[in-house]
Amino acid sequence: MQSMELQNTVKEALNALYHYPDDAVRMQADRWLQDFQRTIDAWQVADNLLHDATSNPETLIFCSQTLRSKVQRDFEELPSEAFRQLRDSLNNLLKKFHKGPAIVRTQISIAVAALAVHVPAEDWGDGGIVNWLRDGMNAHPEYIPGFLELLTVLPEEAFNYKIAARPERRRQFEKELTSQMEIALNILTACLSISELKEQVLEAFASWLRLKHGIPGSVLATHPLVLTALSSLNCDILSEASVNVVSELIHYTASGSSGGVSVQMPLIQVIVPQVMSLQAQLRDSSKDDEDVKAIARLFADMGDSYVELIATGSNEAMMIVNALLEVASLPEFDIASMTFNFWHNLQVILTKRNFDISFGDEASIEAERNRRLQVFRQSYESLVSLVSSRVQYPDDYQNLSYEDLKEFKQTRYAVADVLTDAASVLGGDTTLQILYMKLVEAVSSCRNEQSEWRPAEAALFCIRAISNYVSVVEANVMPQVMDLLSKLPHQPQLLQTVCLIVGAYSKWLDAAPSGFSKLPLVIDILMSGMRTSEDSAAAAALAFRHICDDCRKKLCAYCKQLFHIYYTAVNGEGSFKGSAEDSLHLVEALSMVITELPPEPAKDALEELCSSVVTPLQEVINQGPEVLEKKHARELTVYIDRFAYIFRYVNHPGAVADAVHRLWPIFKAIFDLRAWDMRTMESLCRACKYAVRTSGRFMGITIGAMLEEIQGLYQQHHQPCFLYLSSEVIKIFGSDPSCASYLKNMIEALFKHTTCLLTSIKFTRRPDIGDDCFLLASRCIRYCPQLFIPSSIFPALVDCAMIGITVQHREASNSILTFLSDIFDLAKSSKGEQFLSIRDSVIIPRGATITRILVAALTGALPSSRLETVAYALLALTRAYGMQALEWAKESVSLIPLAAVKEVERIRFLQALSDAASGADVNVLMIPVEELSDVCRRNRTVQEIVQGALKPLELNLVPVP
């Protein structure tokens, strides 16, 4: 299609996209335009339409975005001689659109900057882009606004990974900009004389400061750009740009690359007084929220950047701390919360054990730490009072949208974090005392359900937040708090928090002198919580679990009463408002107390607990197979999940094994009739898994029946949970010689069926089976290599793993890569060392192919988020096979054309692999791996070339012997 025809088609497609009423036509136009942007014709068409005086705004926006995207991603499509023509065309466009539209000018500016990232300064000419830009501004002062935008985006593009530049070139570009920093700042200084450009100049200056390189603080302290920014903080027109500059200056002074705080002290001494002079404006009612937010941001930046200086507790430091307290007191939470990071970092410095050694001996260090803690004590006490009021439910909480409710909860979590920071400095007991005073004040106005309950709830939320910092034997405040709880109205939100606080202080109930005496009182509260609302029931069930966990030894004498609570809550006449998941906390609670009982009483209690669960299941089974088959999974799993919790938390192996043996007919009936139902099978296998884990070798004959059952059912129904139950059995019984024959048959049967299944469906339809299959295989390598590696299934499983390495399902891919790494690392295991010759006979014929697939995975066949897992598998392979593996890697990398990966990049990667295999730190490998990955993924064309060369799905499998 001729260029003119294409231009018209683009215009028509844009017209359809923006103006056609039919959605289908608009979607078709959008798809066509996206496909067009990926063509090589898009270069010329976009350029022509941008130069065309008749192009409408929609066309200009689309074409400027297209050109920007092409320069960023597809620059390598162009012949090298096209660069100057492109540069000159973009320069002309920059001049053409110097007055707008702004969006078009910005896209063109980004395109020029991206071009500069691709092209070295010596090839660009004129001493690089900054000199070229300066010359252009001198020659055409009328276009300065457009050139200033380019100067602003240049440093930003140094860190833009959308640009398909090689890592080495990206680093080189950053160095070029750093070396031209002085020229850039001279240009900006010259532009300060044009008053209408001051804001743009300051934004450009802020952008260059983000490079964090190059200029001593002593120079910046008197620099006209710095002085202009500082003096403009009070100028309404320039304040936003000035704040951006000063914020960047603060970060600049604290960055390691600028020399840090000590080197930058001359600049800091200029910045701090200017920012401090803005403190009065925080209280200025004439300032709008955005102005106050900008000023608060500067104080927060100072706090974050200079926290180590502030931690010395000097008079100057305390002035900044007081300003930050003032910010924390502002009503808008998004402004006040800007300081939260500072309070956390300050707390870390004040409380860290490895305190600054410059203070001499241990006694001097301790004295200095205590002095500092004392200096900041009042500040943190004020902070506790300020933030604790932030967590109160709003008046209209019942009408909050989902998003607003979510935001409110996030506010509470943030405040809770600040309170724990304060408790770290002040001590939990002191913080508790402050919050208790607020609680007493709140409770005085909280006498019935219609009264104001919200302040009391807020105070209790805060007291709960610091529970881990309060002494478990605290005797002054906590007894009074517990007494107050029973006097509060049963408003649902308040009762929920009351229940949560009971759970949070369960260790106190166990350890404090008066703690256990409060137990009847708090149990009554929890029972009320279970009956009041879903949320309070959930909180009460959780609190009950915490109490039974921490007070379990003392509660052994109260088993009868605990069972009564359990029956009332779970089997009562609809009195328990919680969900089935909440009821599991109660099952867990009883199970933990039963664990503390002597063997015989424990066996009786376990039987009683199981009987309450088995009765409804037995009723269903007694109604016949048809009823059991048709039941909704939820009607069964609600009971089966309780068994899982019982078997998990009752730590009496023999008693649990006996219980499972008695229950096996029920379990078998469910296995036989519900094997088609994934949810029921997952629940039942989970229960069996915990039974095996707790009972171990006490399981005796039951384990054989269980494995025979799942082995047969797996052939028909392919439930992956049968594989994970098998992997638990392997972990417990894998090294038991008496089980060897049985386990070997089970392993071979399961893996034979799974490899056939996965090979035929290529993993994509059932990655969940792949995940559990290779988790089981890894367990076999660790716990019974003597059964697994010599078996006939081992080579087939390696072949199957090769097919599945590049499956896009994260868990399945990770399981396969871990399995391969375990094979390669076999020499690390004393059990596995004797099977190295068998392993080598399987891996060496496949080594070159495995390596090629792993290199393909690194370079684009798998998402970059999995680089570390793939890199470790490749490293483990190289450590196992040394020079042979390095040859495989060299052979694989050499398949990638030089157009995609340069020889120097190949060599760097192979050298790092060699170094890591020889024992160097594994992190040495990651940088070259990331760079090779980055180079090979830099745009779609390159990625297709690389994957086309490596062909990860062509396996050349060795026939299984």
In angstroms, the CA 647 to CA 662 distance is: 13
- Tell me the three state secondary structure of residue 400: coil
Structure tokens at 138: 């001198």
Crossing angle of the two packed helices 224-231 and 239-254, in degrees rounded to 10: 120
Q: Tell me, yes or no, whether 723 lies in a domain.
A: no
**pLDDT given for residue 574 in this prediction:** 57
- Residues 644 and 584 both lie in one domain: no
- Residues 565 and 588 both lie in one domain: yes
- Residues 478 and 566 both lie in one domain: yes
The model's confidence at residue 360, banded by pLDDT at 50, 70 and 90, is low
Question: Minimum mean pLDDT among 352-361, 508-517, 877-886: which range?
Answer: 352-361
- Residues 638 and 687 both lie in one domain: yes
**pLDDT given for residue 573 in this prediction:** 52
Mean pLDDT on 138-157: 91
**Domain ranges, residue 563:** 471-596
Question: Minimum mean pLDDT among 371-375, 450-454, 559-563: which range?
Answer: 450-454
Which distant-in-sequence residues (6+ apart) come within 8 Å of 45 by Cβ? 3, 6, 7, 10, 36, 63
The model's confidence at residue 548, banded by pLDDT at 50, 70 and 90, is very high
**Domain closes at, from 699, 715, 745:** 699
In angstroms, the CA 62 to CA 13 distance is: 11
Q: Tell me, letter by letter, the H, E, C secondary structure of 859-890.
A: HHHCCHHHHHHHHHHHHHHHHHHHHHHHHHHH
Q: Tell me, yes or no, whether 295 lies in a domain.
A: no
Q: Tell me, yes or no, whether 891 lies in a domain.
A: no
- Residues 540 and 622 both lie in one domain: no
Structure tokens at 250: 């603060």
Contact between 710 and 671 (Cβ < 8 Å): yes
**pLDDT given for residue 921 in this prediction:** 77
**pLDDT given for residue 919 in this prediction:** 80
Residue 891 has pLDDT above 70, yes or no: yes
Residue 824 has pLDDT above 90, yes or no: yes
Q: Tell me, letter by letter, the H, E, C secondary structure of 126-155.
A: CCCHHHHHHHHHHHCHHHHHHHHHHHHHHH
Q: What is the dihedral of CA 773, 778, 783, 785, to 10 degrees?
A: 100
Residue 959 has pLDDT above 60, yes or no: no
Residue 593 has pLDDT above 80, yes or no: yes
Q: Tell me, yes or no, whether 526 lies in a domain.
A: yes
81-87 long-range CB contacts below 8 Å, 24 or more apart? 83/115, 83/119, 83/123, 86/115, 87/112, 87/115, 87/124
Mean pLDDT on 286-296: 87
* Overall size of the chain counted in residues: 961
Residue in this structure with the two tokens 């090589």, named with its chain if needed: 40
Structure tokens at 21: 């009423």
Contact between 76 and 939 (Cβ < 8 Å): yes
Residues 713-738: pLDDT tens digits? 998 998 999 999 999 999 988 888 88
Domain count across the chain: 2
- Residues 548 and 611 both lie in one domain: no
CA end-to-end distance (rounded Å), the chain: 56
- Residues 502 and 582 both lie in one domain: yes
Structure tokens at 154: 């240049």
**pLDDT given for residue 845 in this prediction:** 95
What's the Cα-to-Cα distance from 54 to each of 46, 50, 59, 825, rounded to whole Å?
13, 9, 10, 67
Contact between 478 and 512 (Cβ < 8 Å): yes
Q: Tell me, yes or no, whether 638 lies in a domain.
A: yes
- Residues 520 and 476 both lie in one domain: yes
Residue 356 has pLDDT above 60, yes or no: no
Mean pLDDT on 267-273: 93
**CA torsion sign, 426 to 432 to 435 to 436?**
negative
Contact between 17 and 29 (Cβ < 8 Å): yes
**Confidence (pTM):** 0.86
- Residues 582 and 476 both lie in one domain: yes
In angstroms, the CA 718 to CA 704 distance is: 20
Contact between 540 and 570 (Cβ < 8 Å): no
- Residues 538 and 655 both lie in one domain: no
Q: Tell me, yes or no, whether 364 lies in a domain.
A: no
Helices (H), 282-395: 289-305, 307-310, 315-328, 333-336, 340-351, 362-388
- Residues 580 and 488 both lie in one domain: yes
If phi > 0 it is left, if psi is from -120 to 50 it is alpha, else beta; for residue 956 that is left
**pLDDT given for residue 961 in this prediction:** 41
In angstroms, the CA 637 to CA 643 distance is: 10
What's the Cα-to-Cα distance from 751 to each of 692, 706, 744, 801, 960, rounded to whole Å?
21, 18, 11, 12, 14
Contact between 143 and 94 (Cβ < 8 Å): yes
What's the Cα-to-Cα distance from 701 to each of 606, 656, 662, 739, rounded to whole Å?
20, 14, 12, 11
**pLDDT given for residue 957 in this prediction:** 53
Percent residues over pLDDT 70 in the chain: 97
Mean pLDDT of the chain: 90
Mean pLDDT on 403-424: 95
Residues 7-64: pLDDT tens digits? 889 999 999 999 888 889 999 999 999 999 999 999 999 999 999 999 999 999 999 9
The model's confidence at residue 625, banded by pLDDT at 50, 70 and 90, is confident
Residues 111-124: pLDDT tens digits? 999 999 999 999 89
Residues 472-498: pLDDT tens digits? 999 999 999 999 998 888 889 999 999
In angstroms, the CA 66 to CA 110 distance is: 12
Q: Which of 67, 50, 69, 56 is nearest to 14 (CA)?
A: 56
**pLDDT given for residue 960 in this prediction:** 41
**Domain closes at, from 699, 731, 750:** 699
- Burial zone of 471 (CB within 10 Å; 0-12 exposed, 13-18 middle, 19+ buried): middle
- Residues 578 and 609 both lie in one domain: no
In angstroms, the CA 354 to CA 922 distance is: 28
In angstroms, the CA 798 to CA 181 distance is: 55
Residue 592: Cβ within 10 Å count: 20
In angstroms, the CA 902 to CA 900 distance is: 7
**pLDDT given for residue 893 in this prediction:** 96
In angstroms, the CA 380 to CA 385 distance is: 9
Residue 765 has pLDDT above 90, yes or no: no
Helices (H), 597-695: 599-622, 625-630, 633-649, 653-674, 678-695
What's the Cα-to-Cα distance from 884 to each of 655, 826, 837, 844, 888, rounded to whole Å?
54, 17, 16, 9, 6
In angstroms, the CA 411 to CA 417 distance is: 10
Mean pLDDT on 823-838: 87
**Domain closes at, from 538, 565, 596:** 596
Q: Tell me, yes or no, whether 657 lies in a domain.
A: yes
Contact between 896 and 856 (Cβ < 8 Å): no
Q: Tell me, yes or no, whether 353 lies in a domain.
A: no
* Amino acid residing at 442: A
In angstroms, the CA 370 to CA 232 distance is: 41
